[in-house]
Amino acid sequence: MELFSRACQVIPGGIYGHTTPALVAPTASPYYASHARGCRYWDVDGNDYIDFMCAYGPVVLGYLHPEVEEAAARQRRSGNCFNHPSALMVELAERLIELIDFADWAVFAKNGSDVMTWSVRVAREHTGRPKVFMVDGAYHGIGSWCTPEDAGLTVEDRAHTHKFRWNDREGLKELFSRHGESCAALVLTPFHHPLFGDSQMLDPAFVDAVHAQCEHYGAMLILDDIRAGFRLDVHGSHRPFGLRPDIACYCKALGNGYEISAAVGRHELKLAASEVYFTGSFFGSSVAMAAAMATLNIIERDEVPARLAATGEAFCRGLVTLAEQYGLEVKLSGPPAMPFMTFANESNFHRSQQFVETALAAGVFLHPHHNWFISNAHEDADVAQALQRVRPAFASVKELFDC
Amino acid sequence: MELFSRACQVIPGGIYGHTTPALVAPTASPYYASHARGCRYWDVDGNDYIDFMCAYGPVVLGYLHPEVEEAAARQRRSGNCFNHPSALMVELAERLIELIDFADWAVFAKNGSDVMTWSVRVAREHTGRPKVFMVDGAYHGIGSWCTPEDAGLTVEDRAHTHKFRWNDREGLKELFSRHGESCAALVLTPFHHPLFGDSQMLDPAFVDAVHAQCEHYGAMLILDDIRAGFRLDVHGSHRPFGLRPDIACYCKALGNGYEISAAVGRHELKLAASEVYFTGSFFGSSVAMAAAMATLNIIERDEVPARLAATGEAFCRGLVTLAEQYGLEVKLSGPPAMPFMTFANESNFHRSQQFVETALAAGVFLHPHHNWFISNAHEDADVAQALQRVRPAFASVKELFDC
């Protein structure tokens, strides 16, 4: 709190963006990081947590994974940011295209927002059309066409952004019937993970409708795989859900915490992709590319997505069982590798907040309003210890809400 | 070329953005980086260059500066990307506010574009107005309001961007008289460094007009100090030119090659700054913040801006003298720390291209169309060696153009 009060003097809001402690639990959340290793995270007050947020996604193999750090260190001895890209940019593009079935090309940047907004422009350039369809409540970064807040925007910024509801086939058809002829792209996450809501998987009939509408109207399908990418399938999250994107965007897990994002796309879009200007001082930086090569290799070699799913399933099963022991009913949603828990029959998240506050005090980092992340550093013993530690959290919900 | 031909298969355009070799000299430029140290840069074919581009700006102290690398390594042992910022974010914000006279707060991101586009939104939120005035031919990143190419844009993207000419007082007044009441911000670089043009310094009377118009109409002045920041003055480039910005943006030199950008601003804008959503997976990453702390400390301790100016002056003087020896006339423009050379009486850059092609072959990395960068690793001996190496470049211009 002493650091936060200093921060409030010199940083608007003290802490901004998705790491704001007020979004978790204002009085119980840590505010500042000290260090982290594997699946363990320490705050500046020396409290330690079994971490189920993984830096909000980037950490897929565990903090400071030795092989990733070694690959990054090896490249760092040559340098990071040069007058040109290093050979690693070519190798990483080749690697992504090898892994991702529909991809014929790749580009790299720093933020998820960089690649999402650029991809929308590529679709606009390719189709010669302005409109973008996105799911209501989906998060695709801070591009002006999609940023979740209105502050600082002009009315023109959203002139061509149109929303439909997740899994709502009729709504989608209706939107296409109104604006399909001017639609450049439909943007979709592989599953829906709204803040303050259960995660929702794709209805196969909705997937069919998305493909049918995009094909009928000639709209591009852009997959926002920034949050889920390489956690569910090393070949991209479109695969388990049967999606056929034209462009897909990756970021978080790609470099296991190193600063990199990527977009990949079909051959048909390559000309447009070469025409939409895309640059940044650090887009070609090679240390993060070395980290990404190592991360992808380990994810494939160690079958990490299957391990994350198994670990996540064990954790989710354990939570359901514990809840029952305390006479509580919980709902786990989303893929087990990225689970989210809500309490049944409540919409105000008071139980979730109480649960997470107590879990934090007991040394388990969870989030009441945002999906969680399993990493490959979470071993069975960590899950067992986390389940042991959250017992008082269930007890306190039972006691306070007697539900 | 073998790497580039592989790249063309898997990356749109092979190499994209500002590092494109075709922008330098398609047949003579290196295409891929191998390694770099101090002011020396090696390409993948083993050619070495005395480097006057410094990774297009980020490298201000020389590649792999030992103190910066040590500071980054020390933080890296704790980790980089966490669930929260580390104490370094607060310390770095405090440090920037201490250095930059008008700044009351700071935020951090990854790209120059991130902070520029966000700053425009902050000005819009603060003023409740939509319009942005910028200099024709200025580069402020790839935000849709300012990106230099039209591909992928909608007409609405530029609805509120209006341009004026550098140092054109009458044009500026005319623009304000038409749209001043709806102007959120005027965006300015501390000197004008267009591609394909001499750099131009600010006319003091124009500075007065900028301040007078912004004050009269209540428009914010946003300084784009991304390219020049900390190279001309450790207290920000507004100081040597007498500018009084409301917000300033930094990136390139801030982390000596580590991925970080920053915006700082006046107290009056802090509420708006806290309201315009700003986030990215790696905005809080602490390794780049450690690098930035070390970089700023060294720039201040070693009076780096004065050293860059002296080194740049010696290099520029040497080039003028050499040109005269070959019966050629050159013009050096911009601050000596970021000089740019053109040949007198030519507008097509053919002499510049010939000069740079020959200089590259002789082991000096220069750019025919973009300003150059001096680093603190350029010693007198490096400048002397570079001047020796560029002799055949002047000779070839004289021979081919006999001007």
Q: What is the pLDDT of residues B304-345, one digit of tens each?
A: 999 999 999 999 999 999 999 999 999 999 999 999 999 998
Q: How many CB atoms lie within 10 A of CB B174?
A: 12
Q: Which residues of B touch A81 (CB under 8 A)?
A: 55, 58-59, 257-259
Residue B167: which residues within 8 A CB-CB, separation 6 or more?
B192, B200, B202, B203, B206
If residue A187 lies in a helix (H) or strand (E), which one and from where to where?
strand A183-188
Q: Give the separation between CA B293 and CA B70, rounded to whole angstroms.
A: 12
**Is the per-residue pLDDT at A402 higher than 90?**
no
Do A82 and B33 touch, CB atoms closer than 8 A?
A: yes
Cα–Cα distance, B236 to B190 (Å, whole number): 10
Residue A41 binned pLDDT confidence (cut-offs 50, 70, 90): very high
The more confident residue out of A279 and A403 is A279
Q: What is the per-residue pLDDT for B23?
A: 82
Give percent of chain B with pLDDT exceeding 70. Answer: 100
Minimum distance, in Å, between the CA of residue A325 and any CA atom of chain B:
31
Inter-chain touch B55–A16, beta carbons under 8 Å? no
Question: pLDDT by residue (tens digit) across A220-257?
Answer: 999 999 999 999 999 999 999 999 999 999 999 999 99
Buried b (16+ CB within 10 A) or exposed e, A222-256: bbbbbbbbbbbbbbbbbebbebebbbbbbbbbbbb
* pLDDT for the residue numbered A403: 58
In the predicted model, what is the mean pLDDT of chain B? 97
- Is residue B289 within 8 A of residue B89, CB to CB? The reply is yes
B-chain residues near A105 (CB < 8 A): 10-12
Count A/B contacts: CB-CB distance under 8 Å.
325
Mean pLDDT throughout A57-79? Answer: 98
Residue B119 near residue B263, CB atoms below 8 Å: yes
Residues of chain B with pLDDT under 70: 403
pLDDT of residue B203: 97
Nearest-by-Cβ selection for A19 from B44, B258, B284: B284
**pLDDT at residue A217 tops 80:** yes
Query: CB of A222 within 8 A of CB of A72?
Result: no
3-state SS class at A372: coil
> Which three-class secondary structure state does DSSP give residue A340?
strand
CA B116 – CA B122 distance, rounded (Å): 10
Nearest CA-CA distance, residue B60 and chain A, Å: 12
pTM of the model: 0.98
CA distance B254 to chain A (A): 12
Per-residue confidence (pLDDT) for residue B403, from 0 to 100: 58
A148 touches chain B (CB under 8 A): yes
Are A82 and B10 in contact (CB < 8 Å)? no
Nearest to B341 by CA among B333, B350, B329: B333
Q: Which chain B residues have a beta carbon less than 8 Å from that of A273?
A: 12-13
Average pLDDT over residues A23-38: 92
Of B83, B86, B226, the CB nearest to A56: B83
Q: Quick one: average pLDDT of A133-160? A: 97
In single-letter form, the type of residue at position A136 comes to D
Nearest CA in chain A to B96: A10
How far apart, in whole angstroms, are the C-alpha atoms of residue B399 and residue B403?
8
ipTM: 0.97
| Alpha carbon of B403: minimum distance to chain A alpha carbons (Å) | 31
Q: Which amino acid is at B317?
A: R
Q: Give A96's pLDDT tier (boundaries 50, 70, 90).
A: very high
Mean pLDDT for the stretch of residues A272-285: 98
Residues A365-399 pLDDT 10s: 999 999 999 999 999 999 999 999 999 999 999 99
CA closest to A155 among chain B residues: B130
Residue A22 pLDDT exceeds 90: no
B116-125 confidence digits (pLDDT tens)? 999 999 999 9
Interval B360-395: pLDDT, tens:
999 999 999 999 999 999 999 999 999 999 999 999
For A105, name the nearest residue in chain B, comparing CA atoms only. B10
pLDDT reported for residue A162: 98
For A53, the enclosing helix (H) or strand (E) is: none
The alpha carbon dihedral of B164, B168, B172, B175 has a sign of negative
Residue A291 has a pLDDT of 98
- The pLDDT assigned to B27 comes to 85
Q: Per-residue pLDDT for A31 more than 70?
A: yes
**What per-residue confidence (pLDDT) applies to B346?**
87
Distance of residue B266 Cα from the nearest chain A Cα, in angstroms: 10
Task: State the pLDDT confidence band at A67, using cuts at 50, 70 and 90.
Answer: very high
pLDDT at A106 over 90: yes
What pLDDT digit, counting tens, does each position of B276-288 carry? 999 999 999 999 9
- The answer to whether residue A23 scores a pLDDT higher than 90 is no
pLDDT in tens, B123-144: 999 999 999 999 999 999 999 9
Q: What's the half-sphere exposure (Cβ side, CA atoms, 13 Å) at A232?
A: 23
Amino acid at B270: K
Two tokens, residue B61 = 């102290």
Both tokens assigned to A359: 């879990």
**Spatial distance between the Cα atoms of B402 and B395, rounded to a whole number of angstroms:** 10
Per the listing, tokens 């359901």 go with A320
Give me chain A's average pLDDT, please: 97
B79 → closest Cβ in A7, A15, A64: A64
User: A154 and chain B: CB distance < 8 Å anywhere?
Assistant: yes
- Nearest-neighbour CA in chain B from A298: distance (Å): 19
> CB of B13 within 8 Å of any CB in chain A?
yes
- Does A125 touch chain B if contact means CB atoms closer than 8 Å? yes
Q: What backbone phi and psi angles, to 5 degrees, belong to B31?
A: -110, -30
| Type of residue found at B126 | H
- Give CA–CA dist B63/B66, Å, rounded: 9
**Model pLDDT, residue A69:** 98
First to last CA, chain A: 33
